């Protein structure tokens, strides 16, 4: 549970907030480099008229730039510790300036202590103090520019604007609506205010595609509220409410203060903010590396598939990841048009505990296909799906649209995040698991995501590829 009562705006990351929060990191780095170079030029080109430069030979510009590069990384570390990259709504300008000044001071003090302990004389005290001062100024100016860009992007071009539905017909709901309308730079477009009526809410979402729902004073029918929460999680709608005291006893939520209203968001998953960014970076790097390694054998596999049967090399399968459909790529391991034969084999389905289809001796699988499945090489083209952001390296299994239509309400929690090429269920038993066991494992992953858990799953997957031959 994370609780943050310091922000003056809704604390959930909208697309614009996430984008500009991430943008601050490279901009800060560029501004620190620029401040360092400006300090050097100021000392050697302008102040040298009043005081000669004595360090140009043993500290030329290129060597100085290397120093500035590494010092900037130290400053960024100090900024991160101070919370300047925390994934939350924009902090106040004065608070941001103070954090920059304090973190920069801590960074430069660390450098001074290092120089002292090394018992070395630095070439110019002005470079240290001037770099510290200009670093604060340049970084702060850079962040003001980002604020202005974000305001323009949201206010003028509606970048990342969320369509908000307010549920509640009290004066509090009207006041809440007016506060949001009076500040369009918050990034919200109100699609309506309505009483708690689940059927009408789902119809509004169908008509206007709602991004967020805020319930004012969640004291209505408990069944209606439960259905609405499940509906929001299933359809990737952010659910928030203004609580009474009894509503606060929930396990996974964020709290924010908005114009005097305490606003609580019930969260689908722990995977958000910098966690999402880091996970996506790892996905991209692993997908590129994997494709480069695997490409040489793609041609051999393609030849073998075409040699045995007619049809395409790749099977394109319609799957659902999160809240969208996509085409999943695999090496074709079945005869062409195998899906058309699936209804005829329904009576041989070995999975009678849910909507999934599994047949150990499936006659549609080719000889090459059995080898590809046993070694799991048939799944290598999914690296392309990962690179395209259709799915992630780790996550719940990609689901078939016709299977999802048969899912019960609690099964649909597995759609809360992007599907993965591997996942906790796959490394904990795979096809040998019952459907409910698979859902429980994927739900556990969604509720308890961490980077360490992803790494453990990836390592177990690699071991499974080499040593486990139970795939069919």
- Based on the fold, state whether residues 182 and 253 are members of the same structural domain: yes
Q: Are 315 and 330 in contact (CB under 8 A)?
A: yes
Same domain, 315 and 389: yes
Structure confidence by residue, pLDDT tens digits, 42-56: 878 776 656 666 666
- One domain, residues 304 and 221: no
Of 461, 429, 426, give the one whose Cα is nearest residue 445: 426
Residue 62 lies in a domain: yes
412 and 278 in a single domain? The answer is yes
Both 149 and 51 in one domain: the answer is yes
Same-domain check for residues 406 and 283: yes
User: With 0-12 CB in 10 A as exposed, 13-18 as middle and 19+ as buried, what is 139?
Assistant: buried
Say what the pTM is. Answer: 0.60
314-321 and 212-216 strand pairing: unpaired
pLDDT, greater one: 467 or 333: 333
Tell me how many domains the chain contains: 3
166 located within any domain: yes
Has residue 379 been placed in a domain?
yes
Q: Measured between alpha carbons, how far is 54 from 201 in angstroms, rounded to an integer?
A: 73
Does 233 reside within a domain? Answer: yes
Check whether residue 230 and residue 300 sit in a common domain.
no
| Residue 2 domain-assigned (yes or no) | no
* Residue where a domain terminates, one of 133, 155, 177: 155
- What lies within 8 Å, CB to CB, of 104 at 6+ separation is 75, 78, 132, 135, 136, 139
| Pair (445, 402) in one structural domain | yes
Average confidence (pLDDT) over 396-402: 85
Q: What is the pLDDT of residue 181?
A: 80
Lowest-confidence region among 58-72, 251-265, 414-428: 251-265
Structure-token match 């071009």, residue found? 157
Residue 167: C-alpha distances to residues 84, 185, 243, 276 (Å): 34, 22, 13, 29
Query: The domain containing residue 448 runs over which residues?
Result: 274-467
Q: Which of 209, 234, 266 is the last residue of a domain?
A: 266
- Can you give the CATH number for the domain in which 217 is found? 3.40.50.2300
Whether residue 334 sits in one domain with residue 250? no
* 108, 139, 155 - which closes a domain: 155
Quote the mean pLDDT of the chain: 79
Q: How far apart are CA 277 and CA 85, in angstroms?
A: 12
| Per-residue pLDDT at 1 exceeds 80 | no
């Amino acid at each position: 549970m994370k609780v943050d009562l310091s922000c003056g705006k809704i604390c959930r990351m909208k697309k614009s907030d996430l984008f500009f929060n991430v943008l601050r990191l490279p901009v800060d780095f560029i501004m620190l480099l620029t401040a360092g170079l400006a300090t050097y030029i100021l000392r050697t080109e302008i102040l040298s008229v009043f005081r000669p430069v004595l360090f140009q030979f043993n500290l030329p510009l290129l060597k100085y730039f290397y120093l500035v590069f590494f010092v900037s990384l130290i400053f960024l570390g100090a900024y991160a510790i101070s919370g300047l990259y925390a994934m939350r709504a924009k902090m106040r300008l004065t608070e941001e300036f103070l954090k920059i000044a304090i973190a920069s001071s801590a960074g430069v003090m660390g450098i001074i202590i290092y120089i002292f302990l090394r018992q070395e004389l630095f070439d110019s005290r002005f470079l240290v103090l001037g770099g510290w001062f200009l670093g604060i100024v340049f970084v702060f100016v850079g962040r003001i520019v980002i604020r202005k860009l974000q305001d323009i992007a949201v206010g003028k071009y509606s970048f990342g604007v969320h369509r908000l539905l307010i549920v509640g017909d009290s004066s509090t709901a009207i006041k809440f609506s007016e506060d949001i309308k009076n500040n369009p730079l918050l990034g919200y477009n109100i699609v309506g205010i309505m009483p708690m009526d689940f059927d009408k809410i789902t119809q509004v979402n169908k008509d206007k595609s709602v991004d967020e729902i805020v319930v004012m004073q969640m004291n209505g029918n408990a069944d209606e509220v439960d259905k609405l929460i499940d509906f929001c999680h299933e359809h990737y709608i952010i659910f928030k409410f203004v609580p009474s005291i009894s509503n606060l006893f929930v396990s996974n939520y964020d709290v924010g203060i908005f114009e005097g209203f305490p606003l609580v968001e019930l969260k689908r998953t722990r995977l958000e903010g910098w966690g999402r960014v880091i996970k996506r970076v790892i996905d991209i790097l692993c997908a590129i590396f994997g494709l480069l390694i695997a490409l040489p054998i793609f041609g051999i596999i393609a030849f073998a598939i075409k040699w045995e049967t007619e049809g395409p090399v790749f099977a394109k399968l319609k799957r659902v990841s999160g809240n969208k459909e996509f085409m999943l790529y695999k090496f074709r391991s079945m005869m062409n048009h195998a899906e058309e034969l699936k209804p005829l084999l329904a009576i041989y389905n070995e999975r009678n505990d849910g909507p999934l289809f599994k047949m150990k001796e499936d006659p549609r699988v080719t000889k090459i296909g059995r080898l590809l499945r046993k070694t799991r090489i048939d799944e290598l083209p999914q690296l392309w799906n990962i690179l395209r952001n259709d799915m992630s390296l780790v996550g719940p299994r990609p689901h078939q649209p016709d299977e999802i239509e048969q899912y019960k309400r609690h099964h649909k929690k597995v759609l809360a995040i992007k599907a993965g090429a591997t996942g906790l269920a796959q490394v904990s038993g795979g096809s040998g698991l019952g459907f409910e066991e698979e859902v429980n494992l994927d739900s556990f992953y969604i509720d308890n995501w961490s980077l360490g858990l992803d790494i453990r799953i990836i390592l177990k997957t690699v071991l499974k590829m080499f040593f486990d031959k139970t795939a069919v």
